[in-house]
A and B are shown apart, each in its own frame.
Chain A
Amino acid sequence: MPLLTMKDICKSFSGVYANDHINLSIEEGEIHALLGENGAGKTTLVNILYGLYEADSGEIFWNGEKASFRSPADAIRAGIGMVQQHFSLVRNMTVLDNVILNLPGNAAFLKRKEAGEKFARLAAAHGLLVDPGAVVADLTVGEQQRVEILKALYRNVKLLILDEPTAVLTPQETVNLFQVLRSLAGEGYAIIIITHRLSEIMEVTDRVSILRSGRKVAELDTASTDVHELSRHMIGHDIDEMPPPDIPPREAPMLRLDSVSLERKRLAQPLHDIRFSIRKGEILGVAGVEGNGQKELAEVICGIRRHTSGTIFLEDADISHLGVRPRYEAGIAYISDDRQGDGLVPDMNITENLALRAYGKPPMARHGLVDARAMSKVAAEKTQEYQVLASGRSGAATPVRLLSGGNQQKLIIARELEEGGKLIVACQPTRGLDIGASEFVHQKLRAWRDAGKSVLLISADLEEIRMLSDRVAVLFGGRVVGVLTREEASVQALGLLMGGVTAAAAEGAGA
């Protein structure tokens, strides 16, 4: 008898099916993956299981008995724990207070000492070491995840749901997490892991259910499948091999930085003496370990930060003293790496977010007044062209915070890639996106380049950099430590430069 059976689960958001007759069953000791692109309905499904959403129809059987979880409290009581993608930890409370929060067995007066001892035993038994007295805000992301898992274990769950658990982890932390999950499965815990990373599924799971557009399209034994089959089910077709760039860049430079520096007090990462140029019809990749000046460089070029010395030229015109809007009007667009922070206004709707750049000019404005109808028309065209899917509700009036990451990114791109644009500064443009959405972003960037325009592609993903870039600059400690051609830019060569080992230093060490 399976521990959990979900039968014919349906859930729609104003007419759009997020879950369309989904069946799922999990045994004890099984690690089961829910695979699917952003917006495929994975999170909706587990939210129904966890009592956060109410299914429109369908049944849930827990331990063979029909169950209905109306709230997370019901689910927890039955023995279901969930570690959400964005952790549910109160940042300015201690680890222990977060763990013992609202336990059914709590006495009116909390017994923190006893609870601390139980927590420590549990942590040690599962290799999940965290200091119970630490304040959550001081913990690393990996430690916070451990707290979330311990919180569930502390409540004696039998089924643990993890929503995109590795999205925020370093490779080493991921290895640790998988060890923990395997040992938990060995003890009889059932685990559901939501992911869109194929390699992780192959590494850690027993079975895979694949969702696409709200439907379950396949359920496979991990042992008898491979990444190709998984991806075929997930996106509905094979991943296209990217064609190599066939149009060589022109000679004329689009953007030139001449000895640009950003040196101010209390700056996390200053920039020193940056010199490079991007030609027309070229994608220049910027590689580097994060925090070495990427964000600062992007903001200096877009005019968000004013550099302290040096000159920036756009097509031979000095734009050093222009602000953000004049630079945008001169043709510099910006895809921010922080979608919710400075790329979009999360609480504003799709139409408004699409109008953020150009609301002051025709067609969106007439005689200095914003034309709402024109704005809606532009929004309708762009959401169509860029296939932005608002999950139900109110179409273009949906607040963008309710969109999936991929759809949010499409919105930013739809807004920034304007007809008159010349250069786009793309900062981590595919971070957190699934394969389909990443592919879409890459296509758009290539099309932009092939139209004779330029791209500054800042990315922590070396594969992405190597796949798209005509040349690659490497940032280290706020300096450009090397600019490599496509042919020179092997992973090894980039890796050395990203670690601060310049060609000269390497030769010096060799000699």
Chain B
Amino acid sequence: MMNDIGLFLQTAIIMGTPMLYATLGEILAERSGSLNLGVEGMMMTGALAGFLVGTTTNSPLLAVLCAGLVGAMGSMIFAVLTVSLKANQLVAGFVLTIFLSGLANLIGSGYGNSTLPKTFTSKISAIHIPGLSEIPLLGPAIFEQSILVYLGILTAVVLWLYMNKTRFGLSLRVVGENPSFADNAGIPVTLYKYVHIGAGGFLAGVGGSCLTLLIVPRWMESITAGMGWISIALVIFALWSPARAVFGAYFFGALRGLVFKLQSAPITISGKAFYIPAQILDLLPYLMTILVLVLITLGKRKENRPPLWLCRPYFREDR
């Protein structure tokens, strides 16, 4: 039983990792005032790019890096449309997801049967820390994970420091809160938006590559299966804080893990076996998100609200 729970936690953290990257990225973009709904699409292209580079070069580093760069390139479409051309963010992001998902599926259609080289998987699979990973319950979850999982946590820590302790983070918050104040203070608003939308796209791409390199690990059509959308919801769940994003992503990872678990193993009540329909289980993350949204709206704390200027374009001479 203990072992079961330990394995479950380990799975939860792995499953949560793609969403963690994507959520952290979207936090950056939203903090700069840009609600980029293209996350799902950027994850898809990242997943495919990571897989293709991984199979051809056999280098995890190159694979993940290229996945990130492809995600960042996708986000630049969004940046040009919304920041420079002042297009509606919701429409631009939505279109980006449709476009990039379609593109990834099209290009990837011939690679459904390819697999990663054995040597590649061994480089990226769980690092087994002797001794510590034997700790019951938490051992496997914390001390027997892939480097990609640890990198995700590290990214969250770095972003937390960046946003709360550095001058750039402070400026970023103001850009999202009120770009005209930022402008008055001499902060290059457009540059900040581009950089953080781009960083957001990079992380979404990396998140996508976790699926094809680590979790599945191969390419399949529509591999992200809504993880990008949940990541956007997770940003709200995390109240725009990288620290809370870690818990949010792993929690939703656990929900996903639970879906598999309950599908294969029925709940037994007084001798009768019940299968919970997968559709209902799939609803759980979304239900949780709605619940959290309601709770946030009820609460009156000032820091628990989105950046004030989220989703609004900024024209300097128009105020």
Bound together, the chains give a CA A89 to CA B174 distance in angstroms of 9
A109 contacts B165, C-beta separation under 8 Å: yes
B167 contacts A103, C-beta separation under 8 Å: yes
A73 contacts B170, C-beta separation under 8 Å: no
A101 contacts B180, C-beta separation under 8 Å: no
Q: CB-CB contacts of B302-319 with A at 8 A, as 1s and 0s?
A: 110000000000001111
Of all chain A residues, the one with the shortest Cβ separation from B189 is A71
B218 an interface residue at 8 Å Cβ cutoff?
Answer: no
Q: CB-CB contacts of B135-172 with A at 8 A, as 1s and 0s?
A: 00000000000000000000000000000011110110
B173 contacts A72, C-beta separation under 8 Å: no
B59 an interface residue at 8 Å Cβ cutoff?
Answer: no
Given contact pairs A88-B180, A92-B302, A102 touches B165 in the complex (Cβ within 8 A) = no
Classify the secondary structure of B's interface with A. Answer: helix
- A118-142 residues with Cβ-Cβ distance < 8 A to B are 135, 137
A135 contacts B302, C-beta separation under 8 Å: yes
B166 contacts A82, C-beta separation under 8 Å: no
Indicate which residue in A50, A52, A101, A137 contacts B170 across the interface (CB closer than 8 Å): A101
B221 an interface residue at 8 Å Cβ cutoff?
Answer: no
Q: CB-CB contacts of B178-207 with A at 8 A, as 1s and 0s?
A: 101111111110000000000000000000
Given contact pairs A71-B186, A72-B185, A90 touches B317 in the complex (Cβ within 8 A) = no
A97 an interface residue at 8 Å Cβ cutoff?
Answer: yes
A53 an interface residue at 8 Å Cβ cutoff?
Answer: yes
Indicate which residue in B171, B180, B302 contacts A102 across the interface (CB closer than 8 Å): B171
Cβ–Cβ < 8 Å partners of B186 in chain A = 71-74, 76-77, 102
B185 contacts A402, C-beta separation under 8 Å: no
A90 contacts B178, C-beta separation under 8 Å: yes
> Measured between C-beta atoms, what is the minimum distance from B162 to chain A in Å?
9
Cβ–Cβ < 8 Å partners of A493 in chain B = none
Cβ–Cβ < 8 Å partners of B185 in chain A = 72-73, 76, 88, 101-102
Bound together, the chains give a CA A231 to CA B317 distance in angstroms of 31
B181 contacts A90, C-beta separation under 8 Å: yes
Q: CB-CB contacts of B276-310 with A at 8 A, as 1s and 0s?
A: 00000000000000000000000000110000000
Given contact pairs A73-B186, A90-B178, A106 touches B167 in the complex (Cβ within 8 A) = yes
Bound together, the chains give a CA A110 to CA B163 distance in angstroms of 11
B183 contacts A71, C-beta separation under 8 Å: yes
Bound together, the chains give a CA A109 to CA B168 distance in angstroms of 9
Bound together, the chains give a CA A82 to CA B185 distance in angstroms of 10
Given contact pairs A72-B184, A88-B185, A110 touches B171 in the complex (Cβ within 8 A) = no
Given contact pairs A92-B177, A102-B185, A137 touches B167 in the complex (Cβ within 8 A) = no
Cβ–Cβ < 8 Å partners of B165 in chain A = 109-110
Cβ–Cβ < 8 Å partners of A91 in chain B = 302
Interface residues of B, count at CB 8 A = 25
Of all chain A residues, the one with the shortest Cβ separation from B183 is A72
B167 contacts A90, C-beta separation under 8 Å: no
> Measured between C-beta atoms, what is the minimum distance from B179 to chain A in Å?
11
- A370-406 residues with Cβ-Cβ distance < 8 A to B are 401-402
Of all chain A residues, the one with the shortest Cβ separation from B302 is A92
Q: How many A-B residue pairs have CB under 8 A?
A: 74
- A228-256 residues with Cβ-Cβ distance < 8 A to B are none
Indicate which residue in A50, A77, A82, A107 contacts B167 across the interface (CB closer than 8 Å): A107
Bound together, the chains give a CA A100 to CA B177 distance in angstroms of 16
A108 contacts B167, C-beta separation under 8 Å: yes
A84 an interface residue at 8 Å Cβ cutoff?
Answer: yes
Bound together, the chains give a CA A53 to CA B183 distance in angstroms of 12
Bound together, the chains give a CA A102 to CA B175 distance in angstroms of 11
Given contact pairs A71-B186, A76-B186, A402-B318, A108 touches B177 in the complex (Cβ within 8 A) = no
> Measured between C-beta atoms, what is the minimum distance from A72 to chain B in Å?
5
Of all chain B residues, the one with the shortest Cβ separation from A50 is B184
Cβ–Cβ < 8 Å partners of A101 in chain B = 170-171, 174, 185, 187
Given contact pairs A52-B316, A101-B174, A110 touches B184 in the complex (Cβ within 8 A) = no
Bound together, the chains give a CA A137 to CA B319 distance in angstroms of 22
Cβ–Cβ < 8 Å partners of B184 in chain A = 50, 52, 72, 82, 84, 88
Given contact pairs A92-B302, A110-B170, A53 touches B317 in the complex (Cβ within 8 A) = yes
Cβ–Cβ < 8 Å partners of A106 in chain B = 167
A93 an interface residue at 8 Å Cβ cutoff?
Answer: yes
Cβ–Cβ < 8 Å partners of B167 in chain A = 100, 102-103, 106-110
Bound together, the chains give a CA A76 to CA B186 distance in angstroms of 8
Bound together, the chains give a CA A470 to CA B167 distance in angstroms of 60
B178 contacts A108, C-beta separation under 8 Å: no
Bound together, the chains give a CA A375 to CA B295 distance in angstroms of 44
Bound together, the chains give a CA A93 to CA B182 distance in angstroms of 13
Residue among A102, A137, A401 with max Cβ neighbours from chain B (10 Å): A102
Bound together, the chains give a CA A100 to CA B169 distance in angstroms of 12
> Measured between C-beta atoms, what is the minimum distance from B116 to chain A in Å?
38
Cβ–Cβ < 8 Å partners of A77 in chain B = 186
A93 contacts B173, C-beta separation under 8 Å: yes
Given contact pairs A72-B186, A76-B186, A97 touches B302 in the complex (Cβ within 8 A) = no
Bound together, the chains give a CA A93 to CA B164 distance in angstroms of 11
Residue among B180, B185, B302, B319 with max Cβ neighbours from chain A (10 Å): B185
Cβ–Cβ < 8 Å partners of A93 in chain B = 170, 173-174, 177
Of all chain B residues, the one with the shortest Cβ separation from A104 is B186
Cβ–Cβ < 8 Å partners of A137 in chain B = 302
B170 contacts A109, C-beta separation under 8 Å: no
B166 contacts A109, C-beta separation under 8 Å: yes
A90 contacts B173, C-beta separation under 8 Å: yes
Cβ–Cβ < 8 Å partners of A401 in chain B = 319
Bound together, the chains give a CA A263 to CA B182 distance in angstroms of 44
Bound together, the chains give a CA A72 to CA B179 distance in angstroms of 13
A97 contacts B168, C-beta separation under 8 Å: no
Bound together, the chains give a CA A106 to CA B174 distance in angstroms of 16
Bound together, the chains give a CA A77 to CA B185 distance in angstroms of 11
Of all chain B residues, the one with the shortest Cβ separation from A74 is B186
Cβ–Cβ < 8 Å partners of A88 in chain B = 178, 180-181, 184-185
Cβ–Cβ < 8 Å partners of B318 in chain A = 402
Bound together, the chains give a CA A72 to CA B185 distance in angstroms of 7
> Measured between C-beta atoms, what is the minimum distance from B186 to chain A in Å?
3
Cβ–Cβ < 8 Å partners of A402 in chain B = 318
Cβ–Cβ < 8 Å partners of B302 in chain A = 91-92, 135, 137
Given contact pairs A90-B178, A92-B303, A402-B318, A108 touches B168 in the complex (Cβ within 8 A) = yes
- Give 29 CB contacts A-B under 8 Å: A52-B183, A52-B316, A52-B317, A71-B186, A72-B184, A72-B185, A73-B185, A73-B187, A82-B184, A84-B184, A88-B178, A88-B185, A90-B173, A90-B178, A97-B170, A101-B171, A101-B174, A101-B185, A101-B187, A102-B167, A102-B171, A102-B182, A106-B167, A108-B168, A109-B167, A110-B165, A110-B166, A110-B170, A137-B302
Apart from the given pairs A90-B178, A93-B174, A101-B171, 9 other A-B contacts in the complex at a CB distance below 8 Å: A71-B183, A72-B184, A73-B185, A93-B170, A93-B173, A102-B170, A102-B171, A109-B166, A110-B166
Which 7 residue pairs across A and B have the least CB separation, nearest first?
A: A73-B186, A106-B167, A88-B181, A92-B302, A102-B185, A88-B184, A102-B187
